[in-house]
């Protein structure tokens, strides 16, 4: 079973909140401190305490250190990481988080990444938060991270380059492609450090995934918010082990003045964009007009292309979209031999169960046309060939496949 972590970011995410939540969920503070000590930072100590935010208990981590005025470049920080006693996995994760930060800062300021000055995020406390979090994720053995949509807060903040609107420029750059939650809290809820950790770790965004919860860690932010508890909750658990899981996006629009030919052409364009699924549903719209609900399932990175096709081809005035958790059987390609030749398809299985075989339509139709036999006869032959043939062994131990 895979170890899953879920970040409940009702009040956003920062480096110190993440580190505190990891420690509260069971990451050993002494081991994290030992890793921080090996960075060569002067007199840097992690001090843990319990606090309350809006009546809820949470862990708070303060980084105590000798004051300094150093402005570090990325290579200074990665050099410290490389010379440390961190494990290879911890070093890799810490480097990736800082590299994401560097890429965002370089994009915002229009400079090469090697010339980027890390101001706030190059300070001792930010380095300790990032490296400490990298150690914490590793100690907890997390395989997959999912996060809720992210609130950024609103208002302005003073940074090294002057006053800026929230989200801070680097935070906004880091959150490209991440679903943002609406928030009316007049404060910086998500910091660049928190956004970098989040986007490096999280592979999906949405509701709490299917999992068996084993631990819950609560990390407190520095300030008290009038509206809500300034706490990051971290759920740690395991998946159910019998199905694969991921996240897809549902994109849909209602059409009541579009011809069937236009809808059909739009669907063909969507398939060419390599979406996961497209389907239509007959609906009744206002003024009793019959209409069509056109629904597309796609990964996050395809949303922009999908919406462009829908707007361009249908002329729709509005599109809805939301993330959805998807559970699916483990699967992989498989081929069976029939009297008409090989038929490709897919095996599907749940852990501990015998696999089933689904012939591919294209393979069956190709054989049916070549031998002038009914398509259903080819399907039947493929299913019989699988039922009569040797069963693939060890499917419950295989990966997800394609």
Cα separation, 372 vs 367, whole angstroms: 8
In a domain, 33, yes or no: yes
Number of H helices, E strands in the chain: 11, 18
Tokens of 288: 């009793």
Q: At what angle do helices 260-272 and 303-314 cross, to 10 degrees?
A: 160
336 shares a domain with 316? no
Judgement on whether residues 45 and 169 belong to the same structural domain of the protein = yes
| Residue 183 and residue 189 in contact, taking contact as beta carbons nearer than 8 Å | yes
336 plus 308 within the same structural domain: no
Strand partners, 188: none
Query: For 212, what's the count of Cα atoms within 13 Å in the CB-facing half-sphere?
Result: 8
Q: pLDDT per residue over 317-365, tens digit each?
A: 999 998 887 777 778 899 999 999 999 999 988 766 788 999 999 999 9
Domain with 26 in it: 3-238
Give one DSSP letter per residue of 123-154, joined into a string: SHHHHHHHHHHHHHHHHTT--EEEE--B----
pLDDT along the chain (402 residues), means of 10: 90 97 97 95 91 94 83 87 95 94 87 72 83 96 93 85 84 92 93 95 88 95 92 91 72 94 97 96 92 94 94 95 80 92 90 85 95 96 91 49 36
Alpha-carbon span 220 to 59, nearest angstrom: 6
Nearest to 209 by CA among 244, 245, 243: 245
**Residue 195, domain member (yes or no):** yes
Q: Are residues 146 and 63 in the same domain?
A: yes
Rounded Cα–Cα distance for residues 73 and 390 (Å) = 60
Does one domain contain both 210 and 341? no
Q: Of 207, 238, 269, which residue constitutes the final position of a domain?
A: 238
Is the CB of residue 97 less than 8 Å from the CB of residue 174? no
> What gap in Å lies between CA 210 and CA 206, rounded to an integer?
12
How far apart CA 28 and CA 18 sit, in angstroms, is 14
What local confidence, expressed as pLDDT, does residue 402 receive?
Answer: 34
- For residue 190, CA distances in Å to 171, 351, 369 come to 7, 39, 59
204 touches 23 (CB < 8 A) = no
- What the block records as the tokens of 385 is 């060939």
Beta strands per DSSP E along 79-211: 117-118, 144-147, 156-159, 162-165, 202-205
Residues 214, 236: contact at Cβ < 8 Å? yes
Whether residues 164 and 182 fall in one domain: yes
Residues 345 and 292 in one domain: no
pLDDT at position 396 is 43
Residue 402 belongs to a domain? no
Residue 22 lies in a domain: yes
Measured between alpha carbons, how far is 310 from 267 in angstroms, rounded to an integer? 9
Assess whether 287 and 337 both reside in one domain: no
Q: How far is CA 143 from CA 48, 191, 201, 237, 264, in A?
A: 26, 24, 10, 10, 41
Q: In 3-state terms, what secondary structure has residue 290?
A: strand
Rounded Cα gap, residues 381 and 376, in angstroms = 9
Distance, in Å, from the CA atom of 376 to the CA atom of 358, rounded to the nearest integer, reads: 13
| 171, 249: one domain | no
Asked whether residue 334 is domain-assigned, the answer is yes
User: Measured in Å, how far apart are the chain's first and last C-alpha atoms?
Assistant: 19
Q: Is 321 exposed, middle or buried (0-12, 13-18, 19+ CB in 10 A)?
A: middle
Q: Could you say which of 269, 292, 327 is where a domain stops? A: 327
Residue 156 pLDDT = 85
Cβ proximity of 196 and 130 under 8 Å: yes
Q: Which of these three, 327, 350, 372, is where a domain ends? A: 327
∠ CA 19-20-23, rounded to 5°: 90
pLDDT value at residue 246: 72
d(CA 41, CA 127): 9
In a domain, 75, yes or no: yes
Helix pair angle (74-83, 124-139), 10° resolution: 50
Per-residue pLDDT tens digits for 212-228:
999 999 999 989 999 99
Whether 133 and 224 map to the same domain: the answer is: yes
Q: Kindly report the backbone phi and psi dihedral angles of residue 153, in degrees, each rounded to the nearest multiple of 5, phi listed first.
A: 80, 175
Q: Note whether 312 and 352 are same-domain residues.
A: no
| Same domain, yes or no: 199 and 267 | no
Residue-wise over 85-105: b if at least 16 C-beta within 10 A, else e?
Answer: ebeeebbebbbebbbbbbbbb
Tokens of 197: 């950790």
CATH number, residue 309: 3.30.70.1380
Evaluate whether 328 touches 344 at the Cβ level (below 8 Å): no
Number of domains making up the chain:
3
């Amino acid at each position: 079973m895979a170890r899953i972590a879920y970040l409940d970011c009702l009040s956003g995410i920062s480096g110190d909140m993440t580190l505190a939540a990891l420690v509260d969920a069971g990451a050993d503070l002494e081991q994290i401190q030992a890793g921080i000590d090996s960075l060569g930072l002067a007199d840097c100590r992690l001090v843990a305490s319990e606090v309350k935010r809006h009546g809820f208990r949470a862990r708070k981590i303060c980084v105590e250190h000798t004051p300094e005025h150093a402005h570090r470049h990325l290579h200074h920080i990665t050099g410290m990481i490389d010379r440390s006693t961190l494990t290879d996995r911890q070093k890799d994760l810490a480097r990736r988080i800082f590299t994401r930060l560097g890429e965002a800062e370089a994009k915002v300021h229009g400079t090469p990444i090697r010339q980027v000055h890390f101001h706030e995020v190059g300070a001792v406390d930010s380095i300790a938060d990032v490296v400490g979090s990298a150690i914490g994720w590793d100690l907890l053995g997390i395989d997959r991270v999912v996060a809720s949509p992210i609130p950024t807060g609103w208002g302005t903040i003073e940074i090294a380059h002057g006053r800026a609107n929230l989200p801070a420029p680097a935070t906004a750059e880091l959150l490209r492609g991440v679903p943002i939650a609406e928030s009316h809290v007049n404060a910086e809820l998500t910091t660049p450090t928190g956004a970098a950790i989040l986007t490096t770790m999280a592979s999906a965004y949405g509701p709490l995934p299917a999992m068996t919860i084993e631990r819950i860690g609560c990390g407190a932010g520095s300030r008290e918010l009038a509206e809500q508890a300034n706490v990051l909750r971290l759920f740690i658990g395991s998946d159910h082990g019998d199905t694969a899981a991921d996240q897809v996006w549902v994109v849909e629009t209602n059409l009541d003045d579009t011809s069937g030919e236009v809808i059909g052409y739009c669907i063909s364009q969507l398939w060419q964009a390599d979406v996961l699924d497209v389907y239509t549903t007959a609906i009744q719209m206002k003024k009793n007009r019959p209409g069509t609900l056109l629904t597309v399932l796609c990964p996050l990175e395809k949303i922009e292309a999908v919406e462009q096709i829908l707007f361009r081809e249908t002329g729709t005035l509005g599109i809805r979209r939301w993330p959805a958790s998807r559970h699916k059987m483990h699967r992989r390609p498989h081929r069976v031999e029939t009297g008409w030749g090989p038929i490709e398809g897919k095996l599907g299985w749940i852990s501990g169960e015998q696999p089933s075989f689904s012939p591919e339509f294209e393979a069956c139709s190709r054989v049916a046309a070549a031998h002038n036999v009914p398509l259903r006869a080819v399907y039947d032959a493929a299913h019989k060939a699988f039922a009569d043939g040797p069963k693939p062994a060890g499917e419950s131990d295989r990966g997800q496949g394609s």
